[in-house]
Amino acid sequence: MRIGLACLLLAFAGTVQGQSVHKCVGKGGAVSYQSEPCAPAQKAVKSWDATPAPPPSNDELWRRHYRRKQGEADSRYLSRLAGTDGSRASAAYAPSPAATDACAAAKARREAILRQDNDDVGYDARRALNDRVYDACK
């Protein structure tokens, strides 16, 4: 008896079909939604398949979770860089006045040396000047 009931349940479990929904308009404009096609006296407005989407797999749920976490981390990082996160951490990215003065001084020194019209300022000397400016301005 139990084996017969189990076989019967398995037979019906494999034949699950989608459900169609029909929107019908009857006399006087009465709208009805039904699973059977509209009667001849009714006007069929729309029919669609109402088969539910299968639930996402475990792998898909984990992908969504990691994408959401990555988006949150990116948002926190960009907010911190923009200074809109409410913390003072973004102040570490602003140059101090002393660093700005050192940078300006290094640039002025480089320009003064290059303006002297010395043809003997070679590639290595220019590279050294640019490296000093880079170090002062970073």
What's the CA gap between 132 and 89, in Å, rounded? 28
Determine the pLDDT at residue 17.
58
| Residue 15: per-residue pLDDT | 44
Which range among 36-50, 54-68, 124-138 has the greatest average pLDDT? 54-68
Q: What is the pLDDT of residues 95-107, one digit of tens each?
A: 677 777 888 999 9
Distances (CA, A) of 29 to 23, 24, 33, 41, 45: 12, 9, 13, 12, 11
pLDDT at 89 over 70: no
pLDDT at 51: 85
Write down the pLDDT at residue 63. 95
In sign, the C-alpha dihedral spanning 79, 80, 82, 88 is: positive
What would the pLDDT profile of 13-22 be if each residue is shown by its tens digit?
A: 444 456 889 8
What's the pLDDT score for residue 56?
Answer: 94
The three-state secondary structure class of 95 is coil
Identify whether the C-beta of residue 24 lies closer than 8 Å to the C-beta of residue 42: yes
Question: Average pLDDT in the 9-15 region?
Answer: 48
Does the pLDDT of residue 53 top 80, yes or no?
A: yes
Higher local confidence (pLDDT), 27 or 61: 61
Contact criterion met (CB below 8 Å) for 46 and 34: no
